[in-house]
Amino acid sequence: MSLRVAIQMDPIDSIDINGDSTFVLGLEAQKRGHALYHYLPQDLTMVDGRVVAYAHPMTLQREQNNHYEFGEGRWIDLLDDVDVVLMRQDPPFDMAYITATHLLEHVHPQTLVVNNPAEVRNAPEKLFVTKFADLMPPTLITCNKEQIDAFREKHKDIIVKPLFGNGGAGVFHIKPGDENLNSLIEMFSELYREPVMVQAYLPDVRKGDKRIILVDGKPAGAVNRIPAEGEARSNLHVGGQAAKTDLTPREQEICERIGPDLKARGMIFVGIDVIGDYLTEINVTSPTGIQEINRFNGACLEGDIWDAIESKFEK
C-alpha cells in the first residue's frame, strides 16, 4: 500500500529531530513507501469550494541540520491529490486553529485527517477532559473571583492556568499564604477573554506527570516527566526530566474508561496526562512523547500509529 501523505505543520527547519513526534511519523511513513508533502497551516486555502494547500514534496533523514529536502512547491488538492492529512501544527488552540479544522472537515473522511478535525475542534484539551470529571482532581473553570476564592479556601494549595494554553505556559502554583492570586487573576483577565482553570495542587507531581500515548483508543506506551527542583511544571521543554515508566492499574483503568470514546471520535493519536491517580489533560491537537517512549522501551510508536492509519484503508 502506497499512500500520499500531507503533513500540515509549522516550519520544519527548526524542529528537534531527536524529540519531535511529527518527524518520526514522517520517517515511518517514508519507510513504508508513502509519499510525503509538507505545507504550513497558513497555506491551507479554500477556493470555489475546494480545499487546497501550497505544498512541497518532502524527504526526511535523521541527520542533524540536514533532516529534510523539499521538492518544487505546487498547489495540491486535498481531496484529489492526497490520501492522508496529518494535522500536526502546534497550538495555541485559537481561531486560526479552529478555522483549519473547519476547512479540513470538507475533505474528511474521503481524505483521512488525523485526528478527525471536527472532533479536534470539539475537544480542546482542558475542556474535553471534563467529560470524565470523576477521573480528574477537584477542578474549577470560571471567570468569577468569588468562586476562585471559595475554591482556594476549600483546597488551600492550587494550580491556576489559562484554559487554552499549552506546553505549561501560564501555569502558576499558588501555595497557601501566597499573596499574588489577586494580581494573577487581574493579569489573566487582561490577557484572556476565556475563563481560567483552577485545580487542587497534586503533591504527586513531584514524582512525575505521566504522558500516556493512546493509539486508536488503546494505550501504547508512557513516559514520566519529573519537574525540575523549584518548578511546578513537568513539561520537558521547561526543564522536566524524562524517565522510564510502566502503567499502573489505575492508569490502565483510566485508559479503559476513555479509550472507547476516543476511538469512536476518530482520535487515532492521543496523549493523556496523569498525575498520581488523576487524569489532568487529554491532548488531541498535536500530541508529543513518541521518541522519549521509544528510547526507554525499545518501541516504535510511530509504527503503531501508521498501522492504525493503514487499517482504515484496508477496511
Catalytic residues: 126, 161, 211, 225, 233, 273, 281, 283
d(CA 56, CA 59): 10
d(CA 127, CA 203): 23
Question: Grid coordinates in use for 17?
Answer: 529531530
Give the Å distances, CA to CA, from 315 to 88, 310, 311. 25, 9, 6
CB distance 187 to 232 below 8 Å: no
CB distance 290 to 25 below 8 Å: yes
List strands edge to edge, sheet with 158-162. Answer: 139-142, 196-200, 158-162, 172-174
CB distance 93 to 124 below 8 Å: yes
Nearest to 254 by CA among 271, 266, 233: 271
d(CA 70, CA 61): 12
Residue 55 φ/ψ, nearest 5 degrees: -125, 160
For β-strands 35-39 and 50-60, DSSP reports them as antiparallel
d(CA 121, CA 114): 12
Give the Å distances, CA to CA, from 130 to 119, 124, 135, 279, 281. 15, 10, 9, 10, 9
